[in-house]
Structure 1
Amino acid sequence: MASVKHTRPFAGFEWMIAWRYIRAKRAEGGVSVMTWISLIGVTLAVFALIATLAVRSGFRAEFIDTIVGANAHVSVVAPREVITDYAEMAERILTVEGVESVAPLIRGQSMAEGNSGLIALADIYGVHLDDLKTSDAIVDSDLTYGDIDALPVGIALGSALAANLGVTLGDRVIITTRGGAASPMGRSVRRNAYDVVFIFSTGRFQIDEVRAYLPFEEAQLVFNRDGVADELEVRLEDINQSEALKQTIANVAGPGLWAYSWQDRVGRFLRALTIEDNVMFIILSILVLVASMNIISGLIMLVKNKGRDVGILRTMGLTEGSILRIFFICGAGIGTLGTLFGVVLGCLFAIYIDQIFSLVNYVAGGGVWDPSIRGIYNVPAELHLSDVVKAMSLSLGLSWIITIFPARRAARMNPVEALRYE
């Protein structure tokens, strides 16, 4: 009795037959149109998923960088009071491991008036020049201009605030505050004029629209804070340690003082971003699933059209496993190629997003991205390997799994029934 030889799984002839089926035209019993639809659908779905994940990561990183770069990592305040011994307190806080710098701060609101009579609300920060230089978002931005070292004899304005006031470097700005002498009618109005010596851009429109910096001693005079500070700005070596260190900083600062981190200020927004990210990933995962369903449709049609071929192959000795693998290669191959094309397009989109949106803005005649509404000046994108792997795994997993069902149906086809009417 002759021995039966078993071929190894995914042998060369299985790949050859699958390739012939994929590229077969409709007249030959193929479904080339459905193949192209499935391929394009998976490609676009994976592209959309990777592009969305990249923009999502970019928005989160941009938000944290601009918020943390222009503000304290941990703020120390005395509720409803001012801080009198701020110099000694700063020295004590500096002894905490992980603290990089501590800066006293004066804060107050005022009305700012430009040369042309334009008026805007200004959030005044009084800081020492050396402390302001530690803020990378203020002094190291590519969009800043002027001389930061001239701050002791002038004022620094956010770029959007300067634009709203219609002023530029060398122009004079009048700051109006209720910091004058006390009277039965309340405090009198105080008006001070300063030359604009520095214009900065933090990358976040809401900050640039209201933020202004004065020398610390000048701000003390303007807001009647002689010899005191409103709060202490603490910068850490690692911003992720803010939650862990804030209580230690409050204890070292002294009794009656509170410390809150940057996460306390924007934590609710970050949690909302996390929820939105998860929902967006689920929605786009459904999009990938829908695109993968096209593979099933095409594969079912292919199995139906190739029923006679399946019957012949089975009578020639091919096993159910070989038939299953042939049709699995057809469906999984389309899903794999679509995934690879989608990954390439998604990565290129994330890498060249600035150029793409510049082109879109040019074609549309400008105004596509309004920073006063969006809060930032461009569309950020940050490509992470984990996001790419996540998108690839999802697409490949779905396309391979759903391919099994029509392939299994083809493998179980009875060759006698397949050839009965041939």
Structure 2
Amino acid sequence: MASPAPFSKYEFLIAWRYLRAKRAEGGVSVMTWISLIGITLAVAALIITLAVRSGFRDEFVTTILGANAHVTIYNSAIRDENGRLTRSIPDYTDVAAELAAVEGVVRAAPLVKGQVMAVFRDQNTGLEIHGIGADDLAQIPRVADPATGIGDLANFAQGVSIGREAARSLGISVGDVVRLISPNGVRTAFGTSPRVGEYQVVHIFNSGRYDIDRTRAYMPFTEAQAFFNRDGVADEIDVTVTEPEAINEMVPTLLAAAGDRALAWTWQDSAGGFLRALEVEDTVMFVLMSVLVLIASMNIISGLVMLVKNKGRDIGILRTIGLTEGAILRVFFLTGALVGTIGTILGVVLGCLFAIYFDAILAFVNGAAGGGVWDGAVRGIYRLPAKLEAGDVLSAVALSLFLSWGITLLPARRAARMNPVEALRYE
């Protein structure tokens, strides 16, 4: 007569029976529930942590790429006819056209930059002015988004666009007139006098990043040239590409198109240190959450050790009627594995639901705490999203099942090696 195949139906039935056994029947239902709840919470915590980590990185990178150039092209410094060092680009129109012709480039926008003091009534703040063409500004997603901005960029030629936090600091709204003061103004025989200009605020943008909204404003390109004494030149050319993650591979081609004096500064150069810190933090958080899963899985050992001790008579009888050591091992392995598997499934459901409704949960916590739980001025971004990724969920499931199934082998092996004579001696 052929032996039953491993993991036969009767092994699952015995394991399920032991898993549901009450204490009065020699079972350990309390320990089973503790193990189940522990694994559920640990897996849920791991998935939530990974989802928040992915959401934070995605929001951070999206706000960088959505409001800044993917690569900035500028010239190396040379001395002008007055002996001053300059990095200006006199042939910016031709250079921008050459850059725009490079495969993978979405736009190449000449830019004039300058620092000013913005004054409105009794309030003042420092701003970085970006002089840019209206068509180029309309292609910056986080700035030109009508869903988050106030005002109309169609009127950009008649005024300036200012960041939300800067507008809040000054107390201005669309239609107000802001005074801009530049220390590098008109050159006279007595020196350089500050240049003062008044501009109507036609648009207030929300880029999603506090540092940008607090310090940046946009001005029409030709107006910025006149205001900052940059007649006929640009300070840099902002380039946007289709694949920002591969920008480093495009840099040599862009530099070749921009000329011999061209230098490049990519978004990864500016944010690379922070992104590397996030990667280290991701690894540390995954290890810490993995320890929680391991601790929760260890509860299965306690429950199975007690179950093996209480079921010694049953093990002796099962061995006597013909079950092999392998069959006994599989029965108790399945008992513990079922706890780990059910706990993992419940943890995945709980973690995914928490991540999906994370915004609502965070809003509730913020309201209950009286606000200030997530401060954009401190964190840099205005919201903390959670982003579920299949890879994160699968890694959490794989880790939980590996630990919970592996842990059960120890007490299951002990049960399989139990001597049936010793188990039945005092029965």
TM-score for both structures, normalised by structure 1: 0.96
- 1:183 is displaced (CA, Å) by 5.3
Alignment of 1:110 onto 2:113: no
- 2 CA distance for matches of 1:342 and 1:95? 51
Find 2:91's aligned residue among 85, 88, 92.
85
- 1:263 is displaced (CA, Å) by 0.9
Find 1:205's aligned residue among 185, 190, 210.
210
Letter of the structure 2 residue corresponding to residue 79 of structure 1:
S
- 2 CA distance for matches of 1:287 and 1:113? 54
Greater CA deviation, 302-311 or 357-366?
357-366
1:62-87 CA distance string (max 9 Å, x none): 11111011111111011331111100
Letter of the structure 1 residue corresponding to residue 20 of structure 2:
R
1:126-158 CA distance string (max 9 Å, x none): 100000011111112622110101111111111
- 1:30 is displaced (CA, Å) by 1.0
Letter of the structure 2 residue corresponding to residue 224 of structure 1:
N
CA contact (8 A) 1:247 1:259 kept: no
- What is aligned with 1:420? 425
Note the aligned Cα RMSD (angstroms): 1.4
Alignment of 1:182 onto 2:187: yes
- 1 CA distance for matches of 2:296 and 2:248? 43
Alignment of 1:29 onto 2:18: no
- What is aligned with 2:333? 328
- What is aligned with 2:105? 99
- 1:176 is displaced (CA, Å) by 1.1
Letter of the structure 1 residue corresponding to residue 244 of structure 2:
I
- 1:309 is displaced (CA, Å) by 1.3
Distance of aligned partners of 1:330 and 1:186 in 2 relative to their CA distance in 1, 3 Å threshold:
farther
Letter of the structure 2 residue corresponding to residue 16 of structure 1:
L
- What is aligned with 1:41? 38
1:218-246 CA distance string (max 9 Å, x none): 11111111111000011112212311111
- 1:13 is displaced (CA, Å) by 2.0
- 1:362 is displaced (CA, Å) by 2.1
- What is aligned with 1:232? 237
- What is aligned with 1:194? 199
- 2 CA distance for matches of 1:78 and 1:286? 51
CA contact (8 A) 1:204 1:375 kept: yes
- 1:25 is displaced (CA, Å) by 1.6
Letter of the structure 2 residue corresponding to residue 95 of structure 1:
A
Secondary structure at 2:118 match in 1 = strand
CA contact (8 A) 1:141 1:201 kept: no
Alignment of 1:59 onto 2:53: no
Alignment of 1:314 onto 2:319: yes
CA contact (8 A) 1:361 1:367 kept: yes
Distance of aligned partners of 1:419 and 1:82 in 2 relative to their CA distance in 1, 3 Å threshold:
same
Distance of aligned partners of 1:167 and 1:274 in 2 relative to their CA distance in 1, 3 Å threshold:
same
Give the percent of matched residue pairs that are identical in Structure 1 and Structure 2: 56
TM-score for both structures, normalised by structure 2: 0.95
1:180-217 CA distance string (max 9 Å, x none): 12357753222211111101101111111111001111
Letter of the structure 1 residue corresponding to residue 18 of structure 2:
Y
Paired residues, number? 418
- What is aligned with 2:289? 284
- 1:259 is displaced (CA, Å) by 1.5
CA contact (8 A) 1:110 1:122 kept: yes
CA contact (8 A) 1:79 1:257 kept: yes
Alignment of 1:13 onto 2:18: no
Secondary structure at 2:184 match in 1 = coil
Greater CA deviation, 184-193 or 370-379?
184-193
- 1:169 is displaced (CA, Å) by 0.9
- What is aligned with 1:402? 407
Secondary structure at 1:181 match in 2 = strand
- What is aligned with 1:158? 163
Secondary structure at 1:259 match in 2 = strand
- 2 CA distance for matches of 1:185 and 1:280? 61
1:14-67 CA distance string (max 9 Å, x none): 222211211112222111111111111111111111111111111111111110
- 1 CA distance for matches of 2:178 and 2:167? 9
- 1 CA distance for matches of 2:310 and 2:115? 76
CA contact (8 A) 1:110 1:177 kept: yes
- What is aligned with 2:378? 373
Secondary structure at 1:343 match in 2 = helix
CA contact (8 A) 1:289 1:398 kept: yes
- What is aligned with 1:253? 258
Letter of the structure 1 residue corresponding to residue 387 of structure 2:
E
- 1:366 is displaced (CA, Å) by 2.1
Letter of the structure 2 residue corresponding to residue 76 of structure 1:
I
Letter of the structure 2 residue corresponding to residue 271 of structure 1:
R
Greater CA deviation, 398-407 or 139-148?
139-148
CA contact (8 A) 1:141 1:202 kept: no
1:298-338 CA distance string (max 9 Å, x none): 11111111111111211122111111111111100000011
Find 1:301's aligned residue among 306, 327, 335.
306
Secondary structure at 1:318 match in 2 = coil
Letter of the structure 2 residue corresponding to residue 205 of structure 1:
Y
Distance of aligned partners of 1:327 and 1:167 in 2 relative to their CA distance in 1, 3 Å threshold:
same
CA contact (8 A) 1:77 1:259 kept: yes
Distance of aligned partners of 1:183 and 1:301 in 2 relative to their CA distance in 1, 3 Å threshold:
farther
Letter of the structure 2 residue corresponding to residue 31 of structure 1:
V
- What is aligned with 2:80? none
